Every structure is written in C-alpha cells, then in structure tokens.
Amino acid sequence: MISNLTNDMTRLCGEIAALRSSRADLMSTLAEGREEMQVAVSQMVTGFGEARSEMAQQTKAELTGFVVRVKEGVAELREQVAQKQNEIREDIAGAHHAWHGTNRAPRREPSVASPRFREESEELAPKAKKKKR
C-alpha cells in the first residue's frame, strides 16, 4: 500500500508540474495575444482617425461646393425675379397708357363743396336729434 501511495504521490507531483508548465505556457500565449490585440486595436483606431479625417475633408469640400451652387441658384432666381418685375411694370404701364392715354387730365378729388360729396356724407352722418324748447 505504501508503494501505491508513493506511486500516486509521484504521479500527482508529475501532473502538478505538467499543469504548472501548461499554465505558464497558457499565460505566455495570452500575454502574446494581448500584445497582438493591443497592436491591432491601436492600428484600427489610427485607421479610424485617418478615415474620419479624410471623410471630414471630403464632406467639407462637398458642402462648400453645395453652398456655392445654392448661392449661384439664388443669384439666378433674383435676376429672373427682377426681370419678371420689370416686365410686369412695363405691362402695367402699357395697359395704363392704353386705357387712359398718354395725355390725360389729372384726376380731380371730390371736394367738400361738390354735391356728390355732400350727398354721400349726409347719408353716412348720423342725424342729429332735435332739442325741445
């Protein structure tokens, strides 16, 4: 029985030494993997930063071009509106001349003394009450 116990203890001691050795290998492998992972993540973050910078420059250039195109469009619209306004003014002036003629007497405003004005004002004015004496 002592021989079995000695053999078991020897085997157990060998297994413990093998497990320690494999644990040390595992820790070494994990440390190497961690270092590789850190390098990969660092490179990925650097790549993200470069991509973001390029994207920002591209977006800024596109937005600048967009603003220029919008300003040009607004300027064109202003010119078109001004042309239309001038055309309408000319049409109104032409219609005015066609309707009234070029040599027209100035329009008279109704005066207070005119009979028509008195009739209208009398219709609109409230009638005064007569006082009793």
Alpha-helical runs (H) found in 1-133:
2-100, 115-124
> Residue 89: its pLDDT value, please?
96
The mean pLDDT value of the chain amounts to 84
pLDDT of residue 122: 54
Please give the residue that has the higher pLDDT: either 21 or 126: 21
* Whole-number percent of the chain with pLDDT over 70: 74
- At residue 19, the pLDDT reads 93
The CA-to-CA distance between both ends of the chain, in Å, stands at 154
| Alpha carbons 38 and 35: distance in angstroms, whole number | 5
Question: How do the domains of the chain map onto residue ranges?
Answer: 2-91
Q: What is the pLDDT averaged over residues 17-22?
A: 93
CA–CA gap between residue 133 and residue 130 (Å, rounded): 9
Span 2-21, average pLDDT: 89
CA dihedral (18, 23, 26, 27) in degrees, to 10, reads -140
The answer to whether the beta carbons of residues 96 and 102 sit under 8 Å apart is no
φ and ψ of 112, to 5 deg: -65, -30
Instruction: Look up the pTM and report it.
Output: 0.43
> How far is it, in rounded angstroms, from Cα 29 to Cα 35?
10
pLDDT recorded at residue 100: 87
What pLDDT is attached to residue 106?
56
Residue position matching structure tokens 């007497």: 105
What is the distance between the alpha carbons of residues 61 and 30, in angstroms, rounded to a whole number?
Answer: 46
Q: What are the pLDDT digits (tens) for 75-119?
A: 999 999 999 999 999 999 999 999 988 665 556 665 555 555 455
pLDDT score recorded for residue 114? 53
pLDDT at 70: 96
The average pLDDT across 3-15 equals: 89
Q: Name the 3-class secondary structure at 130.
A: coil
